[in-house]
Amino acid sequence: MRTVCVSLGERSYEIRVGSGLLARLGEWCRDLGVSRRCAVITDERVAGHYLGRVMGSLEGAGLEPVAVTVPAGEGSKRWQVVHRCHDALAAARLERRSLVVALGGGVVGDLAGFVAATYLRGVPFVQVPTTLLAQVDSSVGGKVGINLGAGKNLVGAFYQPRLVVADLDTLGTLPEREYRAGLAEVIKYGAIADGSFFGRLEGVMGGLLSRDAGVLEEVVARCCEIKAQVVSEDEVEGGRREILNFGHTIGHAWEAVAGYGRWLHGEAIAVGQVLEAELSCRVVGLAREVRDRLEGLLERAGLPTRVRWTGRRVERLLGAMRLDKKVRDGRIRFVLLRGLGCAEWGHVVEEGLVREVLGS
């Protein structure tokens, strides 16, 4: 097992990465000093694979868990599902020291974290991510929230978990398309923060695609180290943490315009990364060879890198981007690359150029 610390003073916590970790989840949760009564929020698909194992681990450690199951998919990140979860926690008589365990991918983590942040004005929660994307990205850093029709994650909070347990064995049941979508976030970390790691990914992509356990442990832990360092420096995205949004300004807009669930998050940000790398070439002088390496690695991961958009669709994308959380005074801002491992945030790009790149 590899352990990564997110250093945030009294809100610091560990990310534990390895195989066979679900069996120890109960004892680790108990050691957090929480009440015996707790809740596991998961989705219908994950429940069939891992809920019994998690409930057994918690019960074996002397805890009294109740299961709350929601529909699988992005559609669960909405107010109606939040209210259902709140009602379930109240019916189970959870208290302020009661624990919420988020068992699932990014949707469950965002939803359960938001439920924990808002129930009784905040109860402790633990992230147990079961997808590659959640293990390397959404489970770490304390961003929790739900979607609105106007855009993704427009309602939410910064609310840190008490612990993250990334059991690599759970990736064995992940569908191929979802697994490959997670590789988009993995590749992003090399692009924005560690050029050597990007080169390492080029060398081990075959092992990643075959889900080699040793390669996965190394790569997942390194991604978590990068994110932990960034979050420790800038918890609430007032500056450097914005680099984690590389590819997301366009990617989130495409998710909203296409309709949530039609494209997976990783697929949308793969396209977003290529287009924002193209903007980087035109605005800050990123070498085209770097842009091409990025596109090539995303393609090797089996991810889409180009979409042909009509003029009308481009205008809808721009409209969605104007609702991005990084917009200032109505101006769309981007994370751009100057080189591999060298990302800059806060770049305002003229809409005419954005239109041109989207339509290319």
Options 121, 308, 312, 328, the catalytic residue: 121
Q: Would residue 176 show up in a list of annotated catalytic residues for this protein?
A: no
Residues 6+ apart with CB under 8 A from 166: 15, 16, 17, 18, 21, 129, 135, 139, 220, 224
Options 16, 162, 188, 241, the catalytic residue: 241
Options 153, 225, 242, 245, the catalytic residue: 245
Q: Which two tokens stand for residue 17?
A: 């990465």
Nearest Cα to Cα of residue 168 among 109, 208, 113, 111: 208
Residue 208 near residue 219 (C-beta atoms within 8 A)? yes
Q: Would residue 77 show up in a list of annotated catalytic residues for this protein?
A: no
Q: Would residue 316 show up in a list of annotated catalytic residues for this protein?
A: no
Encoded amino acid at 148, one letter? L
Q: Would residue 84 show up in a list of annotated catalytic residues for this protein?
A: no
- Residues 101 and 114: their CA atoms lie apart, in Å, by 12
Options 77, 147, 185, 276, the catalytic residue: 185
Backbone angles phi, psi at 246, to 5 degrees: -55, 130
User: To which residue do tokens 């393609």 refer?
Assistant: 299
Options 16, 143, 152, 222, the catalytic residue: 143
- Interior/surface letters 211-247, b for 16+ CB within 10 angstroms, e for the rest: eeeebbbbbbbbbbbbbbebbbebbebeebbbbbbbb
Q: Would residue 152 show up in a list of annotated catalytic residues for this protein?
A: no
Q: Would residue 252 show up in a list of annotated catalytic residues for this protein?
A: yes
Q: Would residue 356 show up in a list of annotated catalytic residues for this protein?
A: no
Q: Where are the alpha helices (DSSP H) in 234-264?
A: 248-258
Backbone angles phi, psi at 302, to 5 degrees: 80, 25
Q: Would residue 49 show up in a list of annotated catalytic residues for this protein?
A: no
Encoded amino acid at 167, one letter? D
12 three-state secondary structure: coil
Options 77, 248, 291, 333, the catalytic residue: 248
Options 152, 252, 291, 333, the catalytic residue: 252
Options 152, 227, 291, 333, the catalytic residue: 227
CA 126 distance to own-chain centroid = 15
Options 237, 242, 267, 276, the catalytic residue: 237
Q: Would residue 44 show up in a list of annotated catalytic residues for this protein?
A: no
Q: Would residue 241 show up in a list of annotated catalytic residues for this protein?
A: yes
Options 265, 276, 291, 295, the catalytic residue: 265
- Where in the sequence numbering do the catalytic residues fall? 121, 143, 185, 227, 237, 241, 245, 248, 252, 265
